[in-house]
Amino acid sequence: MSADISRGTTASSSVYPILKLNEGKTVVPISKSAAFTLELTGGDYKTVIIMANASGGSATVTFAKGNGIQGAGSNVVVTIANGASAAIVLDSGYFKNVSGDAKDCVTITPSAAISFTVVELPQ
């Protein structure tokens, strides 16, 4: 299975660009209202997920813990008020799946239509 949002030079590269120092890139958010997978194979600790809520009410975004040895805790839930934005950087050891259909991905589930942009910052 490939990720719903892939990293770098793929069809979704405007959603998930890999930035270089002193380089500007256009980013295009995509709306997701159901569970999806995000590839987390690059500079995981420098991958920023930016979320915007224009759903008309408060919404939540659930980041599922991974199936590796570090994914032993609970899912993380971020609440985003209507008209607000939030950002998060995930610990890949905790959230990334290391086996199965979603290998090398994190599973994200919004409760309403949320716009997502993912950016990998320079190393």
Number of domains comprising the chain: 1
List pLDDT tens digits, range 67-85.
988 878 899 999 999 999 9
Q: Is the pLDDT of residue 123 over 80?
A: no
Is residue 96 assigned to a domain?
Answer: yes
Is residue 25 assigned to a domain?
Answer: no
CATH number of the domain where residue 56 is located? 2.60.290.11
List pLDDT tens digits, range 33-69.
999 999 988 877 789 999 999 988 999 999 999 998 8
Is residue 20 assigned to a domain?
Answer: no
- Domain span at residue 109? 30-120
> What is residue 3's predicted lDDT score, i.e. its pLDDT?
87
Is residue 18 assigned to a domain?
Answer: no
Q: What is the DSSP string of 72-105?
A: -S--EEEEE-TT-EEEEE--HHHH---SSTTTTE
Q: Is 35 helix (H, G, I), strand (E, B) or coil?
A: coil
Q: Is the pLDDT of residue 108 over 70?
A: yes
Q: Is the pLDDT of residue 1 over 70?
A: no
Is residue 10 assigned to a domain?
Answer: no
Is residue 21 assigned to a domain?
Answer: no
Which pair of tokens denotes residue 58?
């408060």
Distance CA 101, CA 108 (A): 14
Is residue 2 assigned to a domain?
Answer: no
